[in-house]
Amino acid sequence: MEVFDAVRTVLAVRKYQDKHVPPEVVERIVQAGRLTASASNRQPWHFIVVEDKESLHRLGELARTGPYTAGAAFAVVVAIERTPFAVSDASRAIQSMILTAWSEGVGSNWVGFSGLDDVKKLLQIPAELDVLAILPFGYPIDEIGAGKKNRKPLAEVASKERFGQAFG
Amino acid sequence: MEVFDAVRTVLAVRKYQDKHVPPEVVERIVQAGRLTASASNRQPWHFIVVEDKESLHRLGELARTGPYTAGAAFAVVVAIERTPFAVSDASRAIQSMILTAWSEGVGSNWVGFSGLDDVKKLLQIPAELDVLAILPFGYPIDEIGAGKKNRKPLAEVASKERFGQAFG
């Protein structure tokens, strides 16, 4: 899938088919995170791939905004260093992973930002790291690829040369 | 370009050809930012497209880490609300823009995070917004598409089921 088509069509997916995602697709998604650029190339992240059904169920219980994680084919838990640019860097890595997954027909959604300390215990994540997000992944149940996005018009979020000057 | 190929090959570009980027490509890049997902769909961002040579020159002077902005075909200055998830959300939008540009042969690099208050004055950005990044864009001078990335090995940044358990 072309990059812009992926950006244009990707939607939050919260209902997943009970269908295995092939290991090579799982790995490609994690590689997309690993290969993303970061400030001073620090790569202040760690990706934990969770496929165990019991762990997915627990993640769904712990993440107040993402109970649907329980039904995912797998999840990637994104842990970050407590350094100044780690949130920015890992957010870029998350976007790389979500777009790569989408281009393979796999949906996801960013689950955060509360209840994540208990996730650290569950996954034995070291104290010096924080959990930024849980990304549940799976094949969408619904045909949502053609869905229309609800976004502010371009004129409201973009300007030309200086703030407030009409774009285009 | 396929999404994963873009993620895999995109590199920081700091030297640009003296060549115009067509307006439809500029617009596609900004649309990629606009269409990105954000927490509660808040879209806490504003994109200012700067093509004026004098302004690009000033941006290059103001951004300590990005003097090469002066030589860009254009730049997108990303301003954000002072809300909890704005940095995450806008970082995702920035990744969407950089990947979309790359798939069109246009290079960029994240310029931040200092000296950006003066940028607010230059571009008349309202006090309640912050500048997160300057993204200079242009056609790369060097053939860098085949460049190899310097990244930590997968085993170091990824685990399976719990932290520290070998991936794959």
Summarised one tens digit per residue, pLDDT across range B74-89 is 999 999 999 999 999 9
| Residue in this structure with the two tokens 């690009």, named with its chain if needed | B56
In angstroms, the Cα distances linking A11 to A53, A103, A132, B83 are: 24, 12, 20, 23
Summarised one tens digit per residue, pLDDT across range B102-145 is 999 999 999 987 667 899 999 999 999 999 999 999 999 977 65
Residue B13 forms contact with A (CB below 8 Å): no
Q: B2 to chain A: which residues are within 8 Å by CB?
A: 1-3, 103
The rounded distance, in Å, linking the Cα atoms of A77 and A119 is 9
Residue A161 forms contact with B (CB below 8 Å): yes
Q: Cβ separation of B95 and A100 shorter than 8 Å?
A: no
- Which one of A11, A96, A157 has the shortest CB-CB distance to B45? A157
Residue B161's contacts (CB-CB under 8 Å, 6 or more residues apart) are A48, A49, A50, A51, A52, A55, A123
The rounded distance, in Å, linking the Cα atoms of A68 and A85 is 29
- Which one of A2, A96, A161 has the shortest CB-CB distance to B103? A2
pLDDT number for residue A34 = 98
Identify the structural domains of chain B with CATH numbers, from first to last.
3-157 (3.40.109.10)
ipTM of the complex: 0.96
Q: What is the pTM of this model?
A: 0.96
Joined together, the tokens standing for residue B18 give 């003296």
How far does the CA of residue B88 sit from the closest CA of chain A (Å)?
Answer: 5
pLDDT number for residue A167 = 84
Residue B26 carries which DSSP code? H
**If DSSP codes are grouped into helix, strand and coil, which group holds residue A120?**
helix
Q: For B156, name the nearest residue in chain A, comparing CA atoms only.
A: A46
Q: For A27, name the nearest residue in chain B, comparing CA atoms only.
A: B168
Residue A21 carries which DSSP code? P
Summarised one tens digit per residue, pLDDT across range B157-167 is 999 999 999 98
Q: B106 to chain A: which residues are within 8 Å by CB?
A: none
Q: Encode B92-119 in three state secondary structure.
A: HHHHHHHHHHHHCCCEECCECCCCHHHH
Q: Is A99 exposed, middle or buried (0-12, 13-18, 19+ CB in 10 A)?
A: buried
Q: Per-residue confidence of chain A (168 residues) as pLDDT tens digits?
A: 999 999 999 999 999 999 999 999 999 999 999 999 999 999 999 999 999 999 999 999 999 899 999 999 999 999 999 999 999 999 999 999 999 999 999 999 999 876 678 999 999 999 999 999 999 999 999 776 556 789 999 999 999 999 999 986
